[in-house]
Structures are given as C-alpha cells and as structure tokens.
Amino acid sequence: MSSMSLSQSIVIPAIDYDLCQACRPCEASKHCQFKAFVRIDRDEPPFIDVGRCGGCGDCVPHCPHDALAAPGANRRPDPRS
C-alpha cells in the first residue's frame, strides 16, 4: 500500500517548450528528488520521465521562465500583481 494519502494528489508537470530556455543547469531539475528530468541532447530542453516522476510538483516554482505547469502545483508569484 502506498504511503500517499487520499488528500494528496499526483502532479505530473508539463514543459511548455515555447517558454523553456534549456538552461544549463536546469533550475527546476535541481529540485527534483526523483531525478525525473532527462536531457538527451545537451543543447535541447529536458523532458520529464513520467516513470521517474513522483508527482510532487516541487519543481514547478523553481523554473525561472515559468515553463513548467501542473494543475494544483505552486507557481512563482506574479511580480506584476
């Protein structure tokens, strides 16, 4: 039985490749405890290996370009508001 309670949800982030700047190192990936960010070609943006992703959404607020989105995950505050 999983240790995740029914009140917790799994969040698989999506990368918006129009916003992703393929930073090296990827700031969001540094906050992924599951090492789910995979980069095949060093000049290309990473992708998220859903088999590795634990669904916590902790990476989402760490992308400086807001290229990650996930329903229910925390995003960085909008400086315009």
User: Would you tell me how many other CB atoms lie within 10 Å of the CB of residue 19?
Assistant: 13
Q: Which band of pLDDT confidence, cut at 50, 70 and 90, is reported for residue 6?
A: very low
Residue-range domain boundaries for the chain:
11-35
Task: Look at residue 71 in the predicted model and tell me its pLDDT.
Answer: 74
Which pTM does this prediction carry? Answer: 0.74
Inform me whether the pLDDT recorded for 75 exceeds 50.
yes
Averaged confidence pLDDT in the chain: 83
Inform me whether the pLDDT recorded for 77 exceeds 80.
no
Q: Which residues contact 26 (CB under 8 A, 6 or more apart)?
A: 37, 39, 46, 63
Judged on CB neighbours under 10 Å (0-12, 13-18, 19+), 57 is: buried
3-state secondary structure of 68: strand
- Asked whether 43 and 22 are in contact (CB, 8 A), the reply is yes
Mean predicted confidence (pLDDT) in 5-30: 85
